[in-house]
Chains A and B, each alone.
Chain A
Amino acid sequence: MKLSRRDFLKASLVGGSLYIAGSVTGVTGSAAFAQTTEDIPGPLPLIEVGGLIRPPGALPEDKFRAKCIGCNVCVNVCHVMKYDAISLLGLNLPSPPFTKESWSAFFNSGTPHVKAMRDFPCGLCMECPKHCPTGALQKVERENVTMGMALIDFGLCFGWNGDVCLSCSKACPMGGKIFDFYNGEWGNQPYINEKCVGCGLCVKYCPLGGSAIKVVTRQQYEKVKPAYVDDFKKLLSMQTEERYNVVYGQNLPNIMSRGRLIEREYR
Chain B
Amino acid sequence: MSTDRAAERQSSRATVSGQQSNPPIPPLQKGGKGGFLKLSILRRFVLLGVVVLFLLQFLRINVLVGGLSGSLAVWFVKLIDIFAYLESLVASRDFSTIALLSVLPVMVIYLIFGRAFCGWVCPMDFLFELVDKTKDWSKVKIKVSPRAGYVVMGAFLIASFLLGVPFFTRYFSHLTNFFTLLTSGVFLSLDLPADYMVTFFAGASIFSLLILEYLFPRLWCRVLCPVGKMDGLFNKISLLRLKFVEGSCGECNLCEQRCYMNVRIVPYVVDQPSLRDTNCIYCGRCTEGCAMRSKIIKMKLGR
Contacts and interface: CB of A to CB of B under 8 A. Distances in A.
B96 A19 contact: no
A80 B212 CA distance: 36
Contacts of A51: none
A79 interface: yes
B36 interface: no
Nearest to A2: B143
Contacts of B79: 133
B65 A77 contact: yes
Contact of A75 (B102, B164, B183): B183
A22 B197 CA distance: 11
Contact of B211 (A14, A79, A85): A14
Contact of A72 (B60, B180, B211, B212): B180
A19 B208 contact: yes
A19 B205 contact: yes
A131 B78 contact: yes
A1 B138 CA distance: 12
B293 to A, nearest CB: 27
A68 B88 CA distance: 7
A123 interface: no
A167 interface: no
Contacts of A21: 204, 208
Interface stretch (B120-128, B166-174, B235-243, B279-287): B166-174
A154 interface: no
B197 A27 contact: yes
Interface in A1-55: 1-3, 7-8, 11, 14-15, 18-19, 21-23, 25-27, 29-30, 33
Given A133-B70, A133-B78, A116 B193 contact: yes
Nearest to B106: A133
Given A66-B164, A67-B99, A79-B60, A73 B66 contact: yes
A262 interface: no
Contacts of B143: 1-3
Contacts, number: 220
A73 B65 CA distance: 6
Given A65-B165, A76-B65, A135-B98, 16 more contacts: A14-B211, A15-B211, A23-B200, A23-B205, A25-B200, A63-B92, A66-B91, A66-B92, A66-B165, A71-B67, A72-B67, A77-B66, A79-B60, A80-B62, A80-B65, A134-B102
B78 A69 contact: no
A109 B171 contact: yes
Contact of A26 (B81, B166, B204): B204
B173 to A, nearest CB: 8
B118 interface: no
A107 interface: yes
B194 to A, nearest CB: 5
A188 interface: no
A134 B80 contact: yes
Contacts of B92: 63, 66-67
